[in-house]
Structure 1
Amino acid sequence: MKLTQLLASAVLAVTLSPMAHADTVDVTTVAGHPPVFLWVKTITDTFIPAVNQALEGSGTDIDWTEAYGGTLAKVGGEVETLEDGLAQVGIVASLFEPSLLSLQNVTYVSPFGTPDVDLVLTSVDEMHDEIPAMRKLWEDLDLEYLGGGFALEDYLLMTSFPVASIADLEGRKINAPGAAVNWLKGTGAVGVAGNLTTYYNDIKTGVAEGVVVFPTAAAAAKLYEVAPYVTRVHFGAQYAGGIVAKKSWFDDQSSEVQNALRAGASAYAAAYATGLNGRVNGAFAAMEQGGATITALSDEARLAWANALPNLAQEWAVSLNAKGLPASEVIENYHRRLKEAGTDLPRNWAAE
C-alpha cells in the first residue's frame, strides 16, 4: 500500500473513531436551595459524577453548569426555570407545588406517619410507576421524572417558647412549608407559610414564633438560635420532590444520555439516604451544643394532636378526585405500604 493510501486510511480511522466524534452536551442543573442542604449537595457529590461515569466510552460527555441557592431560580421557581429552558436538569420540590404536583404531596396530607425516610422515598418513587397519573403531572409541566426523589426526615417543632401539648400553641404564629401548614389546623396555632430561606428572620423579627421543620435543615440554618425549644412531635418523614429533566430536551437526547441521567438519579437516591442518617444525629448534637432544649411530645399529646386535625387526606382526595385525579387511589396505595411495613399510625387517614 502506498504511503498516501496509508495516511488516508489513518485519517479515516481517526475520523470514524467515537472519541474523534465525541459530542459535548451542555447541561445546567438548578436548585433554589443552596448546597448546604444535603439534597442539593448530593447533586454535586453523587448525581453528576454518576452520570459522567455512565457516559464513559459512549462518545458523549456533559459540560455541567451548576446553579444553586437562588442564582438561577428561587425556592419554588425551579419548574418555571426548567420550562423556560434556562436549565435542563434540576431538583424540583413538589412540596412547594401543591397545585401543579398535587399527587406527589400525599405524605404531607397524612402526617404522623412513618419516620423511615427509606420507606417513604421508595414508596412514592414506586408509586410513580404504578399510578400513571403521578408521572403525567410531571409530564404536563414538560418535565421528565428521573427518579431518585428526596425525602425529608421526621419533622419536628421548634419554638421560642416551651411546648408540652397543643394547648401551648393557642394563638401562636408558626411557620410551616407548603401543605404542612395544615398540620396546625385545630391546634389553635396560626399557620404562616414560609421556607428555609425565610424561617430564621421570620422568627427573629416576630413574624412567627416557631416553625415546623426537619432536623438537618434546622441545624444547618441555626434555627435553634431563635427557636431554642425543640419538640420531637414525630410528624413523620416526607416525600419532598425529585430529580427531573426538561422533557422536550430529554426526549431529544441519545439513549446513552437518557440512561446515564437515570443512572445518576438512582445513585443520587442511594447516596442521599445513606448520608442522611449520619446528618440527623449530627443535627441533634449541633442543636444541643447550640443551647437548644430538646424534648419529645408524649404519646398522649401526639394522639391528641393527630385527632384534633380535620381529615386532611380525605379533604385532599375529595378535591382532587373531582378534578379527575386518582387521589383516593394514591392515599390507599401509600397507606397500604406503610401498614405492610408495620408502621404504627395514630390515625388511619385512609380508613376514615
Structure 2
Amino acid sequence: MTPRLTPKLIAAAMALGAMPAASVAETYNVTVAAGHPPVFRWVRMISEQFIPTVQAELESTGHTINFSEQYGGAIAGVGEELEAVEAGLAEIGTCQSLFDPAKLAVQNVTYYTPFVSADVRRVATTVHALHDDNPDMLRAYADNGVVYIGAPIGIDDYLLMTNFLVESLDDLNGRKIAAPGAAINWLSGTGAVGVAGNLTTYYNEINTGVYDGVLVFASAALPGKLYEVAPYVTKFGLGAQYAGSLCANEAWYEGLPDEVKAALEKGSDAAMTWYHDDLENFVEIALSSMAEEGATITDATPEMRQAWAANMDNAAKTWAEALDAQGRPASNILSAYMDAMRDAGATPLRDWDKE
C-alpha cells in the first residue's frame, strides 16, 4: 500500500533533498614516485612530512590513503617522474623541471636568472606563489596531464668549487668547469669552458682531470665529498634555485573529494616548511664541515661578483623569447618572477627582464 503524502512527509522529503550529499569514505591506494633515492632531502620530505601530514588530516574525514613509495628509479628515473605520473604509473611524483626542461620549461626561470638571491626559501616560496597566481605557470602541468600540488624543491646558493685557487675572474680563463642544465649559461663571459655535468659524476671527473671545478651547492658538496678533489670553495652568490615540486595525475586528482585534495595541500605545505627548515640548517653545517676537512672557503669580492654578472650573456632573454615563439609566455613569467623577488627585498645584480 502506497503511503499517503502528508504535508509533513513532503516537507521531510524536501529537506533531505536539500541536504548536501556526504562523500562516502574511501580508501585510496597511491603510488608516489621519485627518480632520486631517499637519501635526497626532496625525497625524504615525502616520507617524513608529506605522507604523515596527509594521513593526519584525513583522520577526521573517514578517508584513508595507503601510500606505496617508489624511489631511486624503481618505476621512474630522474627526469622521468612527470611521464610516470601522466601515464598513471604513479598518482604522485616529484616533477622536476631541472631534469625535464622540455615539458616544464617555464618552471626553470630561476636557472636563467642567476645573481638574484641566495635566500633559498624566498626563491622557492616565490615560485610556489607564482603557481597560485599565474595561469601561465600551471599550463605546463595541464598540457602534460598532471596537476601541481606544491612542496617546491629549493636548491641552496650555488658555489664555485675548484682544484685551483680563485683570486680573480682571470683565474677561470681556459679552465673546464662543469654545471648542471641551464646553469652552464652562467659561465658565459668568464673565460671558463662550460661542461655539462651532474652530481653523480662530479667527484670522479674532477679527480681524473676531465674538468677543473664545478658549480654546485653546499648541501650536495659535503655528502659528495667534493672538497676532497675541489678544495677551493668560492662563494659568488650565484643564487638559490627552484628545481621542481610534487605533482599528481590530473584525472586521478580531479576525481578526489575536496577533503582529500585539502589533505594533499596541507601535506605539501608541511613538506615545504620542513624541507627548507632542514636545508637551511644543513647548509651552515655543510660549509663549516668542509672547512674542518681542509677546504678553503672564501667570499668573492663585490667587484668580482659584479664583473661576472656584467660579462654574462643574457640567457634569460634568449630563453624567454624562444619559448614565447612556441606560445609559452616565458617573458611574462620572467617579469613576474623578477618583480616578485624585487618586491620581496632581493637586489639582483642584473635585471634580466628589463634589458
The amino acid across from 1:59 in the alignment is G
Question: Does residue 1:222 correspond to 2:254, yes or no?
Answer: no
- 2:296 corresponding residue in structure 1: 293
Label 1:65 to 1:206 Cα distance change in 2 as closer, same or farther (>3 A). Answer: farther
- 1:131 corresponding residue in structure 2: 134
Which residue of the other structure, out of 318, 330, 335, is the alignment partner of 2:333?
A: 330
Question: Does residue 1:256 correspond to 2:294, yes or no?
Answer: no
- 1:270 corresponding residue in structure 2: 273
- 2:157 corresponding residue in structure 1: 154
1:1-352 to structure 2, matched below 5 A, reads 23-352=26-355
CA distance in 1, matches of 2:203, 2:32: 27
CA distance in 1, matches of 2:41, 2:143: 28
Q: CA deviation at 1:73?
A: 2.3
The alignment's TM-score, normalised by the length of structure 1, stands at 0.90
Task: Give percent identity, aligned residues only.
Answer: 49
The amino acid across from 1:44 in the alignment is S
Label 1:175 to 1:281 Cα distance change in 2 as closer, same or farther (>3 A). Answer: same
- Residue 242 of structure 2 aligns to a residue in which SS? strand
Runs of 4+ more than 6 Å apart: none
Considering only aligned residues, what root-mean-square deviation do their CA atoms show, in Å? 1.6
Number of residue pairs matched by the alignment: 332
Task: In structure 2, list runs of 5 or more residues that go unmatched.
Answer: 1-23
Task: In structure 1, list runs of 5 or more residues that go unmatched.
Answer: 1-20
Q: CA deviation at 1:22?
A: 5.5
Report if the CA contact (8 A) 1:151-1:239 is conserved: yes
Mean Cα deviation higher: 339-348 or 231-240: 339-348
Q: CA deviation at 1:59?
A: 2.3
The alignment's TM-score, normalised by the length of structure 2, stands at 0.89
Report if the CA contact (8 A) 1:27-1:62 is conserved: yes
CA distance in 1, matches of 2:50, 2:164: 40
CA distance in 2, matches of 1:75, 1:44: 18
- Residue 222 of structure 2 aligns to a residue in which SS? helix
CA distance in 2, matches of 1:275, 1:167: 36
- Deviation per residue, 1:259-286 (Å, 9 max, x gap): 2111111111111122121111111122
Label 1:208 to 1:75 Cα distance change in 2 as closer, same or farther (>3 A). Answer: farther
CA distance in 1, matches of 2:203, 2:142: 35
- Deviation per residue, 1:321-350 (Å, 9 max, x gap): 111222221111111122222322221112
CA distance in 2, matches of 1:82, 1:25: 16
Report if the CA contact (8 A) 2:82-2:94 is conserved: no
CA distance in 2, matches of 1:71, 1:204: 30
The amino acid across from 1:183 in the alignment is W
